Copies of this chain bind each other. A is one copy, B any other.
Amino acid sequence: MENPILVISSRVHYPESQHRGAIAVVNAAGKVVYSVGDIETPIFPRSASKLFQVLPLIESGAVDAYHLGQEEIALACGSHNGEDTHVQIGEKWLQKINKNENILACGTHRPMGKKAVQELIKKHQSPTPLHNACSGKHLGFITTALHRGEDPQEYISRQHPTQKRVEHTLSEITNFETSTAPHAIDGCEIPVIAIPLYNLAWGMANLADPKSLPYVRQKAIHLVIDSLKNHPNLIAGDGAFDTELIRATEGRIIAKMGASGTYVAFSSEHALGIALKIDDGNIKAAEIAMIHILEELGLIDTERSETLGHEKIIFTYNSKPVGKIHAAPKKRQF
């Protein structure tokens, strides 16, 4: 089954490229409220599962034990730009757990944010593991392991108690049996398990409407939401779509990108979870599909969606507009 075209890049009025994909909108009872395309085949959520992966850090009591606050929690949810703010929170966190950056197994890469890259080049500095977009998530894993008295060595292995806890949480909150699902290794070395969009959206719905979950999990979810509402720049960075979406809606919509064209979001107000994936992995198309579905469902008003870029204008190098990337007209395919 081919997924429908969700996003089109048009040059003047003629389509130049197109992006297929699927979307699931689900409530906490697991009811599909809206769907497009194949939401049953497992896909790799990549960083779109970070809002689930952070829960054991809080539920284990590690946050309290190590005096971590909303900043650390927001960073652990994030795929951050590697700007000074992000690195500094990571540095303080390492001090709180009395470790240095060598404990991080996430590896090192050019910061995701252009500003951060330019800053490093200007200062003639190389990136460290704290510039890695996933450093917060990794610090969360390590802190939980330390708090539970586990050897943090090999914390990235699927057999390590930390990853087992994370996988158990993932399975519980998405109502999906992960043990038999396709799995692989993420860019930052941790296990990545394929989960259907339906279940990812269901998991997000559980964040939106956690009242039937155990009290400890409800409390953890509220803390995650508050952390992201108060520190939207830590989930990514200024200008990033998830950061700006949280800001523009004052936290009424919480969203998180994942590599390879995945995006998840939830609305507590409307008790809905959303998960989408662009087949070809294009992130810009995923953002446009997300803003469009939020608009279509009435979860965001047109003014806000326009500000957030529900269409992306294509310019020449002289800044003349010559096209746009936009949501495909419904059901129209070519």
Contacts and interface: CB of A to CB of B under 8 A. Distances in A.
Nearest to A127: B317
Contacts of A319: 107
Contacts of A282: 280-282
A320 B12 contact: no
A17 interface: yes
Interface in A1-44: 2, 9, 11-14, 16-20, 43-44
Interface string A258-299: 001100000000000000001111100100000000000000
A17 B317 contact: no
Given A44-B11, A122-B121, A320 B280 contact: no
By secondary structure, the A interface counts as loop
A323 B192 CA distance: 12
Contacts of A118: 121
Interface stretch (A87-95, A142-150, A179-187, A240-248): A179-187
B14 A188 contact: no
A102 interface: no
A189 interface: yes
Interface string A295-324: 000000000000000000010111110110
